[in-house]
Structure 1
Amino acid sequence: MQPKKKNLLSEWVAHSRLPPSLQPALITAIKAYGLTWTLTTAPVLLGLFVKTLTAKSPTSTKRVFLDCQRVVHQSLTQNGLPFLLAGALASHRFLSYLLNHLVARASHPSVEKNKIRVSQRSAIFLSAAVTMLSVKKVFPNTKTTDLTFFALVRALDVFAHRAYESNRVRQHVPHWILDYGSVGVFTIACTEIMFSWFYEPNRLPKSYANWITKMADMNPKLLELLRAVREKRWQYGKDTDLCDPLRGRIPCRAVHPGDTCETNGLRRFGKGFFKIFPLYFFIHLAPPLLLRPSQVAQAPLQNMVHVLKASVRSSAFLASFITIIWYSVCLVRTRIGHQVLGVRQSILDDTLAPFVGSALCGLSLLIETRHRRGEMALYVVPRALYSFTERVVGPHQRGRWWESLGAGVAETLVFALSAMVVLDAMYKDKTHIRSSVRGLLSWIMKDELQALKTEHTNGKTNGKSNGKINGKSNGMTNGKIDVK
């Protein structure tokens, strides 16, 4: 059997002066840096090209080249995320090598060197913490909160997988909670996200809040009106130049003119479905084309049908999400709250109607498959944590000197602990990590994982060989003794 050919990166690292045990870690660091740099820089360059092509006035080639050069230079000198991910995934190998070497040199000659080793978890935690602190120091403008929340959520998901497989947990927790836990998590997260979007969108990442506004297709002035009602800047029964407050309420037809509440819900479903379908079609089509092209070529029709079904299901999920939140608001503020129960309109518009809509829209996740439910829940939870942190911590911030220090230390601890949990799971049991992240980390850490597998296999082989040799030697010795 012929050995596999090394790629250019592996060949280049093999010719370096690094010890063989550290070469796979260097490949991991290079891959992590390159991937993160590409993901953070390519969208900016692409947006620059699109802006240039769609500009009304022609832009000179020299100007485009200078703009691209500026973007690349800023990404290399001011973007700390590639260094953060590379250090978190690979630097623990270098730290372990250094510490083990120092400890072995400082230890007494009578102590076996193999018994003095820095644990893998400790090395991952320390290296991730040092990397985060270094990035914050060298790249102060780099926003690391999103990556920290992402790592935290993935670490919690590892614990969730372990709990799901635990017999003790299954004995005490109802089966339906374990099966539909992702729907519950998604619903809670969406409640926080959508309620913040209604009243305090500054608590959400700006791009994410803008995307929600675009998909909701809601007049920004109406959102401002709801926020004014909640903040008591606009009250029913007082003369203002907004609508006609003397009538005591804003009718739903002011929000969706020409439609009843039910017709508006159906129209929103269709509009949302066809708007998001191309995106979901690409999301479901790209992975098999890029990762499994041979399988797609063998059964193209079957794979296309599968992609279409998955795209329709995902589009129906998001369309239902939009419809539920729209119709729930109408149902609470008009159909039930106003027409049936006669609740004061200021209460309905102040909190109740948007809150009910925010709480119920997450149930649309039931349309998705079980696997997709978990992925969608993990997608929205970091955004919800971002909003929740702003909600809890924001009112207490006074610009005191220790606030930024405390926030930095807390984020460093959370990131380091999360990285420790995720990487430890990658080394010991990858099934506890979702397939999307597992596949990405497996590609980044491919050489390192293969080296560990080879080392483990060689260790087992040597153990068996030594056992056989010792057994034969003992048998021969015992035989001689018996003969004598």
Structure 2
Amino acid sequence: MLLTGFNTQHTSLAVYILMRAAVLASRCGIKSKRFGHVCKPLTWAHGDIFLMCLASTQILCAYILKQDSLPQSYKSFLNKHGGKDPIILQGVRDIACGMPFTNLEQIQKFYKNMGVDVILDPQMKVPCSIIHANQSCRWHAFSFFFQAYKRAVPVYLPVYLIPALIVHRQGLGKRIWTCFLFRIFKRCNVTMLALGTFPTGLSLAIEKKSRRIEISLYCLARAIESFFTTMSDIASQRQS
């Protein structure tokens, strides 16, 4: 790290190395007679998926609420594959943070340029109309699902599409995650975003078991960096 100079930060890499060291220490601790009972919970078969769910919650909430807390390369990746224009994200951010809308006219103009006429209510409690305009929640979930796969084809193996459609085809119609919590609780806030993004980590289950821990730790490192960056910014704002 020092070879790149003192002005270059490698926070994500440092946190990832720390996570790897923690995993190694826990594996050694499991075999220890003294610390084996302490590290026993770490032997949970689905612990890697749970870590991915935690990481997904922080990363996706940061993607919506505070992108500056994410590394630039990772932010670009999410903006490319997230499939939502920054104008849309700003509208969701406003309603989730309980702030007055700042760009409803821009959102309406954005959809009009796409050939969709939508009138947005400044008093709305849930952002469904911001996210998918006049589309139904169910249709948007299906269309967004296939659009996401189309964007991911150059990055991920196309073979993932087949198991997803075979194994999760019924779930696609029953769990419309985009608006599921919004429709139940009739509100949108940071807590709802956290609860809504947590299940996305379950997508790690389609990966090979040998790769799950690597992917979850990679994402967890960025989630930790984002979390502490956000907390630091909040503390600075309160002091000022």
TM-score range, shorter chain: 0.7 to 0.9
Q: 1:83 to 1:221 in 2, by over 3 A?
A: same
* Cα distance in structure 2, aligned partners of 1:269 and 1:365: 16
Secondary structure of the residue aligned to 1:279 is coil
Aligned residues of 2:30 and 2:36 also touching (Cα < 8 A)? yes
2:44 is matched with 178
Shift of 1:331: 0.8
Given the alignment, which residue of 193, 203, 217 partners 1:378? 217
State how 1:328-367 maps to structure 2 within 5 Å: 328-334=177-183, 336-338=184-186, 348-367=187-206
* Matched AA of 1:279: V
Secondary structure of the residue aligned to 2:25 is helix
State how 1:75-114 maps to structure 2 within 5 Å: 81=1, 83=3
* Cα distance in structure 1, aligned partners of 2:127 and 2:12: 39
2:160 is matched with 312
Shift of 1:394: 3.2
**TM-score, normalised relative to structure 1:** 0.39
Aligned residues of 1:226 and 1:350 also touching (Cα < 8 A)? no
1:146 is matched with 12
Shift of 1:202: 0.8
* Cα distance in structure 2, aligned partners of 1:228 and 1:254: 11
Structure 1 gaps of 5+ residues are: 1-80, 85-138, 282-307, 339-347, 399-484
- The number of residues matched between the two structures is 215
Q: 1:351 to 1:396 in 2, by over 3 A?
A: closer
Q: 1:229 to 1:270 in 2, by over 3 A?
A: closer
1:198 is matched with 64
Q: 1:276 to 1:268 in 2, by over 3 A?
A: same
State how 1:99-248 maps to structure 2 within 5 Å: 139-165=5-31, 169=36, 173=40, 178-234=44-100, 243-246=120-123, 248=124
Bigger share in helix: 1
1:280 is matched with 156
Aligned residues of 1:329 and 1:353 also touching (Cα < 8 A)? no
Indicate the structure whose relative CO is greater, using CA pairs within 8 Å and at least 6 residues apart.
2
Aligned residues of 1:190 and 1:362 also touching (Cα < 8 A)? yes
1:53 is matched with none
Given the alignment, which residue of 227, 231, 236 partners 1:392? 231
**TM-score, normalised relative to structure 2:** 0.74
* Matched AA of 1:147: L
Q: 1:364 to 1:165 in 2, by over 3 A?
A: farther
Deviations 1:387-418 (A, max 9, x none): 122133334459xxxxxxxxxxxxxxxxxxxx
* Cα distance in structure 1, aligned partners of 2:204 and 2:98: 35
Secondary structure of the residue aligned to 1:173 is helix
* Matched AA of 1:330: C
Deviations 1:355-375 (A, max 9, x none): 222211112212222112111
Aligned residues of 1:204 and 1:383 also touching (Cα < 8 A)? yes
- Taking only aligned residues, the RMSD between alpha carbons, in angstroms, comes to 3.4
Shift of 1:219: 2.4
Given the alignment, which residue of 140, 146, 154 partners 1:264? 140
* Matched AA of 1:266: F
State how 1:21-100 maps to structure 2 within 5 Å: 81=1, 83=3
Q: 1:188 to 1:254 in 2, by over 3 A?
A: closer
Shift of 1:384: 0.9
Deviations 1:191-227 (A, max 9, x none): 1111111111111112212211221211211211122
Aligned residues of 1:192 and 1:387 also touching (Cα < 8 A)? yes
Aligned residues of 1:193 and 1:384 also touching (Cα < 8 A)? yes
Whichever of the two has the greater Rg, that structure is 1
* Matched AA of 1:148: A
1:369 is matched with 208
